[in-house]
């Protein structure tokens, strides 16, 4: 049968009477910690495997609540643990998911959308959707990466598309699809038609199928440069009420504040004996701690963590806060905040003594940074 033809069941839709009913309660996923020891053991197991044909030694890190057909560590966030031995490389691959990549051991380089990114331990970089890429370990040590993607969301929508034999030079937009400026077939003689006084418009089909192209680039955030900047945040002092972090920003995400359209990625420093105030948000947060020790309190439950641990630290809308012990803590946090801003679903409560706000649609919150700087 042709790949373009599929055999479907004959099905009948149905009505579900919800008169007088409320929507179901959310099934909040409990926090989980994958320890450094567990990660190290899986790295060694993967490294001991015979080289696969495509070069990809990978394991998914999956929450016990995740469905088998949409495996993720949070409902919309998938994390892969990947290992390359010295001298190895992966085959080219692309998919319609976006990625955040984080090197936790070794180094090497990645070629993505025709760009070569040389990376080292704790570097972060993004992969745009449907851009061909491959990884190379040209060092003398194991290369270990964590890859965060929105694959579970696409799988839940049944629209995940993976290409295991992509054109090697595939980028974001093929040159063969670049339109001629004067191609009348791509323009409507009527253009956009205003309707009413509130700003609504009628869009012709010619624009619908040829929206404005915004180039999505791979961006590299070297740890040596990021650390230099976040270390300065210690000067904010113990009375600072915000989090001491910088988000690695991709301008293509605009006001949605991400490194990809789905995720933000932040690097945080926690000086010794810092306790964040409790807050909550509907976006899920996953932390990888790579220095220091501390604990998190999530919905009244305490979780101890240390360097090398990976944690689903903030299930959606669960009250939580984090604290450091006697050492400096550094951590990468990946959160699906940008997606929620775009969907107008990002409820955020910065202080449990103040009302929540719909970030991106309402005025958000302020810290006391100006006061601390003046002090």
Mind listing the domains of the chain with CATH numbers? 32-163 (2.60.120.10), 220-361+369-374 (2.60.120.10)
176 pLDDT band, cuts 50/70/90, is very low
Residue 251 phi, psi dihedral angles, 5° rounding: -55, -25
Distance in angstroms (rounded) separating the CA atoms of residues 50 and 151: 27
The string of pLDDT tens digits covering residues 91-139 is 999 999 999 999 999 999 999 999 999 999 999 999 999 999 999 999 9
182 pLDDT band, cuts 50/70/90, is low
172 pLDDT band, cuts 50/70/90, is very low
Asked if residues 248 and 337 have their Cβ atoms less than 8 Å apart, the reply is no
The string of pLDDT tens digits covering residues 183-211 is 666 677 888 999 999 999 999 998 898 88
According to DSSP, the residues that pair with 59 across neighbouring strands are: 81
Residue 173 is predicted with a pLDDT of: 41
**Tokens standing for 360?**
């991106």
Asked if residues 114 and 171 have their Cβ atoms less than 8 Å apart, the reply is yes
Residue 134 is predicted with a pLDDT of: 98
Q: For residue 358, what are the CA distances in angstroms to 4, 28, 299, 321, 361?
A: 42, 20, 21, 20, 6
The string of pLDDT tens digits covering residues 12-66 is 999 999 999 999 999 999 999 999 999 999 999 999 999 999 999 999 999 999 9
Does the pTM surpass 0.85? The reply is yes
Distance in angstroms (rounded) separating the CA atoms of residues 249 and 217: 12
The string of pLDDT tens digits covering residues 277-316 is 999 999 999 999 999 999 999 999 999 999 999 999 999 9
Distance in angstroms (rounded) separating the CA atoms of residues 90 and 133: 9
How far is C-alpha 224 from the geometric centre of its chain's CA atoms?
21
Nearest CA among 228, 293, 290 for reference residue 104: 290
Mean residue pLDDT of the chain comes to 93
Residue 179 is predicted with a pLDDT of: 54
Cα dihedral 29→31→36→42 (10° resolution): -10
Residue 181 pLDDT greater than 80, yes or no = no
178 pLDDT band, cuts 50/70/90, is low
Asked if residues 61 and 334 have their Cβ atoms less than 8 Å apart, the reply is no
């Amino acid at each position: 049968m042709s790949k373009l033809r599929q055999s479907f069941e004959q099905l009948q839709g149905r009505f579900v009477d919800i008169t007088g009913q409320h929507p179901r309660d959310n099934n909040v996923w409990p926090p989980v910690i994958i320890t450094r020891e567990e990660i190290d053991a899986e790295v060694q197991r993967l490294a001991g495997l015979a080289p696969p044909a495509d070069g990809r030694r990978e394991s998914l890190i999956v929450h016990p609540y995740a469905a088998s057909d949409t495996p993720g560590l949070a409902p919309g966030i998938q994390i892969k643990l990947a290992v390359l031995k010295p001298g190895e490389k992966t085959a080219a691959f692309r998919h319609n998911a976006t990625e955040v990549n984080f090197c936790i051991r070794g180094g090497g380089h990645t070629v993505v959308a025709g760009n070569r990114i040389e990376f080292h331990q704790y570097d972060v970089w993004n992969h745009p959707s449907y851009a061909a890429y491959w990884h190379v370990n040209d060092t003398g040590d194991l290369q270990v990466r964590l890859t965060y993607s929105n694959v579970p969301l696409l799988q839940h929508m049944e629209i995940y598309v993976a290409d295991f034999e992509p054109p090697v030079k595939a980028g974001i937009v093929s040159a063969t699809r670049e339109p001629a400026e004067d191609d009348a077939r791509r323009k409507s003689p009527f253009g956009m038609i205003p309707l009413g006084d509130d700003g609504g418009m009628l869009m012709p089909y010619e624009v619908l199928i040829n929206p404005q192209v915004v180039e999505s680039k791979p961006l590299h955030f070297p740890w040596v440069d990021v650390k230099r900047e976040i270390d300065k945040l210690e000067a904010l002092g113990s009375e600072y009420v915000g989090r001491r972090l910088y988000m690695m920003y991709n301008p293509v995400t605009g006001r949605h504040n991400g490194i990809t359209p789905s995720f933000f990625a932040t690097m945080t420093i926690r000086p010794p004996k810092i306790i964040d105030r409790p807050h909550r948000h509907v976006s899920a947060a996953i932390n990888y701690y790579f220095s220091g020790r501390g604990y998190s309190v999530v919905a009244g439950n305490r979780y101890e963590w240390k360097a090398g641990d990976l944690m689903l630290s903030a299930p959606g809308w669960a009250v939580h806060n984090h604290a450091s012990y006697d050492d400096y803590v550094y951590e990468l946090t990946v959160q699906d905040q940008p997606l929620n801003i775009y969907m107008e679903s990002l409820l955020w409560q910065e202080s449990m003594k103040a009302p929540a706000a719909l970030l991106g649609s309402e005025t958000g919150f302020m810290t006391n940074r100006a006061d601390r700087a003046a002090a």
